[in-house]
Copies of this chain bind each other. A is one copy, B any other.
Amino acid sequence: MVYTTKRILLDKRPSGFPAVENFSIDTVTLPQLNEGEILIKIKYLSVDPYMRNRMNKAKSYIEPYETGQPISGDGIAEVLESKNEEYKSGDIISAIVPWQEYAILSGNPYKIPSADNYITEYLGILGLTGLTAYFGLNKIAFPRSGETMVISGAAGAVGMAAGQMAKIYGCRVIGIAGSDEKCAFLKNTLKFDTALNYKTSKNLRKAVKQAAPDGVDIYFDNVGGEISDSIMYLLNDFSRIVLCGQIALYNQNRLSLGPRLNSLLLIHRVKMQGFIVYDYRDEFPAAREQISEWLKNGKLINRETVISGFDQILTAFLNLFQGKNTGKMIVKIA
């Protein structure tokens, strides 16, 4: 059978905030399958802040997107045709896929067990965002029971997972988010000890200080910029900063300026460390098992913002930078 598919291509690299003008859409016919390949129908796509970095030309920890080529990212798909004996028609897989309706893949994508009740969870809490939270905590923060952790971007996919995991580890958890609705969700549904709306807080540093009477032992940073500055003054001796995301900085054309705070890190013997979830690829299976167990016994709650329709992909992606998602932002394609 012959398949045609729409594709979303990077047309012109964005400078500052990306806009629909940076992308183009075309339609192509897919070639016949070669040996070892599978043809997939894409069901769900993940849109994530890190993708903005890949739209720059500079090489980062991951190759930049090529102009004139499809954007790609995490996705869930159904196998329609297979010339790879590991997969058969009807299998559901999780893989890095192009922003298309149909695609041809080689390699060996992860086959989601059919006994498993989880599907879109593999784009979030059981996927890269859940794993990011898990490894940020277990490889850098080393949370101890009774410690206080502050999370910025707390209602995002990573923040939500990190906060709940820190609760499991016995920490007092303070989340910072951008709306009262998100804060209510963090506090009432996810049982964070405190949730602070940075947009309406007149003095965030003071508010965090009030919520963290014993100071801050861990700062799980998803945003960078001024929100992070306000935490720096509250760090305890031997505290840890997990540099997980810097969404406040991703869309800047030039480096913005901020106060030089390294003296505080020195005096308090703070460790600040960046990490990339892929560095721990070998430990993904064990981590997924743990996360899956927490999900099953109700210790972790998953939350997604799902938008439907291939034509909504760009809107969903751009909305990330407006803070319009609570939890994992997912686009349902088919």
Contacts and interface: CB of A to CB of B under 8 A. Distances in A.
B272 A224 contact: no
A2 interface: no
Interface stretch (A198-206, A209-217, A258-266): A258-266
Interface of A is mostly: mixed
Listed residue (A244, A261, A273) with the most chain B CB atoms within 10 angstroms of its CB: A273
A269 B279 contact: yes
A60 interface: yes
B263 A246 contact: yes
Contacts of A221: 262
Interface stretch (A176-184, A249-257, A284-292, A298-306): A249-257
A64 B273 CA distance: 30
A243 B256 contact: no
Contacts of A244: 266
A189 B271 CA distance: 34
A257 B259 contact: yes
Interface in A223-241: 224-225, 228, 237
A143 interface: no
Contacts of A275: 266, 269
A198 B259 CA distance: 23
A13 interface: no
Contacts of A28: none
A274 B267 contact: yes
Interface string A86-97: 000000000000
A270 B274 contact: yes
A198 B267 CA distance: 26
Interface in A33-71: 53, 60-61
A332 interface: no
Given A224-B260, A257-B257, A258-B260, A269 B265 contact: no
Nearest to A276: B269
Nearest to A268: B274
Contact of A246 (B61, B266, B268, B279): B266
Contacts of A262: 221, 224, 228, 243, 246, 249, 272, 274
A61 B267 CA distance: 6
A149 to B, nearest CB: 18
A245 interface: yes
Contacts of A53: 267
Contact of A255 (B255, B256, B260, B272): B260
Listed residue (A61, A263, A269) with the most chain B CB atoms within 10 angstroms of its CB: A263
A273 B270 contact: yes
Please give me the 4 A-B residue pairs with the lowest Cβ-Cβ distance, nearest first.
Answer: A266-B274, A255-B259, A257-B257, A271-B273
Interface of A: 53, 60-61, 221, 224-225, 228, 237, 243-246, 249-250, 255-263, 265-276, 279
Given A268-B274, A269-B275, 18 more contacts: A53-B267, A61-B269, A221-B262, A224-B260, A224-B262, A224-B263, A243-B266, A244-B266, A245-B266, A246-B262, A246-B266, A249-B260, A255-B259, A256-B259, A257-B257, A262-B274, A270-B274, A271-B273
